[in-house]
Amino acid sequence: MRWIRWFSEIGITDVPLVGGKNASLGEMTRELAGLGVPVPDGFALTAEAFTAFLDANDLKPHLRALMAACAADPGQLEARAAEARDLILSSPLPAEVRAEVEASYAELSRRAGVGELEVAVRSSATAEDLPTASFAGAHQSLLNVLGPRELMEAVHRCYASLYTPRAIQYRVDMGFAHEAVALSVGVQHMLPADTAVSGVIFTIDPESGHPDIIVISAIYGLGENIVQGRVAPDEYHVHAPSLRAGYRPIIRRRLGAKEFRLVFNRQRHVHENVPVSPAERARFSLSDDEVLQLAGWASAIQAHYTGKAGRPTPMDIEFAKDGVRGGLFIVQARPETVHASRVDDTLTLYALDEGGRCLVEGTAVGDRIATGATRVLRDTSMLADFRPGEVLVTESTDPDWEPILKMAAAVVTEGGGRTSHAAIVARELGIPAVVGASGAMGALPSGRCVTVSCAEGETGRVYEGTLRFTREAVDPATLPATRTRMLLNVGEPDRAYRMSRLPADGVGLARMEFIFAGWVKVHPLALTRYEGLDVVTRRQVDDLTVGFPDKREYFVDTLAQGIGTLAAAFWPRPVILRFSDFKSNEYAHLLGGGAFEEAESNPMLGWRGASRYYHAGYKEGFLLEVAAVRRVREEMGLTNLHVMVPFCRTVKEGQQVLDVLAEGGLPRGTQGLLVYVMAEIPSNIILASEFAALFDGFSIGSNDLTQLVLGVDRDARRVAPLFDERDEAVKRCCASLIEAAHAAGRTVGICGQAPSDYPDFAAFLVGHGIDSISLNVDAVVRTRRVVAAAEASR
């Protein structure tokens, strides 16, 4: 056939890497089938057929004149675009083209074993899905098309969509000549996903650009809801290097609301949203095996296109599940456009300089901060009210909103997730967006000055008023190299992907307490001793652990996700996780904690750290922590994760903790596991050689060490001025520890606040040969320069 190419016949030498998703589908059908990537059967009506259609109807001069009129007077865009579409819709397809489409459709139906097959008809422009231009939603695709007549109408509508106002404007913005862009049409076996699941896969984290994270979003029903942001999807993160090594590295699962399911009503011949039952909403839409299968296919697809392009080519992929016969399929693939087009490694770090009242929150898109006056728009009839620099607040967006999105300082939508239209366009435009912000249109009336912050991790927040913030550009290539390892102090997994881009050699202190408080939220003994809880607390625990018949599994799974996210973000750089170091009063604040914690007059010196881990009053809780670490290392394959024991008062206590680790299946040295000890008590310094015989290294906790060496409570107003890590007594302790540890062949780092606050203290440590300095995020750049200068002067 002249105008038709079957997907199974399109070869790697026949089409370019870019220039239409249908070509990409054809390549995958033939070349990735051997890798186990199934794609629904179908055929493409080539871009040459579109050109033949234009020539047969002498449309090129008329379209050229209409586009010239748009360029001369942008105010005529809507009217001239409508004329262009009317020209196309009123012009017949050439008889030869029509005959080939009908014959190919008949063959596709025969292959499926039906008289007339429901198909998806997808438009694909020759400039579409480039690594630098997505044309997200600019051209039309139609689902559940049945019969030759509907198919011909769908082809016409796809052709006409090349001249919608948004498609015309996008070509102008991206510098594409109108006549240089043609359209092919893909006709694909329509999967009955309306009774199953569909979704989107990115082979790169779409927010941070982290190249090792595969992000899968899934909903019930047809995928249009996820693209348009009508529902909040389930989300899964998979660590690609560990997946390729044979592990099961689902490092994060997030349950979405999945409020509606888009289905095709065959009686009325319309697509409609129907509510999802509470039971379905409360469970994940994909099994772990399905998540790993999709991630494996996505990794194979990226490898295929990366090899073809000769450069890293992250992908944006759509999938669907056959609701009748079962089985997952890849239905579309295209290059990711935002991070793939980045030409330099300069980091721009945003941080709020002051707090404010949070008016609404949702999912953060991007990592920027913006300020402006709000403008609530309920539908496209209100677009003319929008002014440049305002913060758009609406329910959701589609391509018709793009002209004002280009003018917005930020976007806030009540619906949607990371793969919604608003999120995709906001990333491309480089503006912050908060999506899935329930109640935003009521909480943010028009004209209110707000600050939109996406610089605080996974949660985006809208604050009242115009808050001060800083923006710092960092080029890692300009920073000096250091002998001393420069590490980070981290705690919030939500920020880990972005923080991993900083010029650091790993993580010197990962605080488990942040994951306890923000993710787990419940005292571990309230799970291991669930039957003994009072009725009210049991009900609260039940609500928190829904979906987990085994309460212990909730703790291990949730904690492992948080830890795994940190370890995956920095892979293969080392991540040192400190076991829980809450004081008894802080444990008591966790759900159910009050029943298991005694009131102490001085919690800082009470039952904390190592003394809890082997004690009968907490050991079972510590073993859950150990189980979570094992899961991250053994099931997720993240063996860059190491552990650290805090507040270990005596050598005997150190040995007892190591014994419990071994009892929990995590003996020191297994698969290269390193076990460190915090040096934050004078006994750690005095008996450094003895502690060195048990542990692989030390990390100085300068805050507690200073308090205990000087006998100062830094929170006591009258003596707080005496608290100073640079006091000579503290400095001598640090120097003595470094000397003793090195003599025993052990390393010493520091993870306290002092090096972040005092560059001279960092220089002192470097002068004594400290092996690593772990810093707060905001201090890593300036301290690296201080350390390099100190090393140069030794």
Kindly list the catalytic residues.
421, 751
Q: Are 705 and 733 in contact (CB under 8 A)?
A: yes
The DSSP code sequence of 153-222 is HHHHHHHHGGGSHHHHHHHHHHT--GGG--EEEEEEEPP-GGGSEEEEEESS-TTT--TTEEEEEEEEB-
Q: For residues 496 and 434, what is the distance between their CA atoms, to the nearest angstrom?
A: 19
Output the CA torsion sign for 134, 137, 141, 144.
positive
CA distances from 417 to 208, 386, 726 (A): 15, 23, 48
> What token pair was written down for 569?
């973000």
Q: For residues 710 and 431, what is the distance between their CA atoms, to the nearest angstrom?
A: 49
Q: For residues 752 and 739, what is the distance between their CA atoms, to the nearest angstrom?
A: 19
Residue type at 785? R
> What token pair was written down for 179?
């006549």
Pairing of strands 641-645, 675-679: parallel
Q: How is the beta sheet containing 250-254 ordered, strand by strand? A: 250-254, 234-239, 213-220, 197-202, 315-321, 328-335
Residue with tokens 């320069």: 785
Q: For residues 716 and 241, what is the distance between their CA atoms, to the nearest angstrom?
A: 49
- Of 188, 244, 192, 185, which is closest to residue 220 (Cα–Cα)? 192
CA distances from 516 to 7, 164, 284 (A): 50, 51, 23
Pairing of strands 641-645, 575-578: parallel
Q: For residues 313 and 299, what is the distance between their CA atoms, to the nearest angstrom?
A: 11
CA distances from 129 to 135, 317, 421, 531 (A): 7, 11, 15, 56
What's the longest Cα–Cα distance across the chain?
Answer: 93
- Of 557, 552, 577, which is closest to residue 639 (Cα–Cα)? 577
User: Which residues of 244-306 form beta strands (DSSP E)?
Assistant: 250-254, 260-265, 270-275
> What token pair was written down for 364?
């953060």
- Of 92, 134, 107, which is closest to residue 42 (Cα–Cα)? 107
Q: For residues 662 and 785, what is the distance between their CA atoms, to the nearest angstrom?
A: 41
Distance of CA 561 to the CA centre of its chain: 13
CA distances from 478 to 473, 756, 784 (A): 11, 20, 11
Q: For residues 79 and 66, what is the distance between their CA atoms, to the nearest angstrom?
A: 9
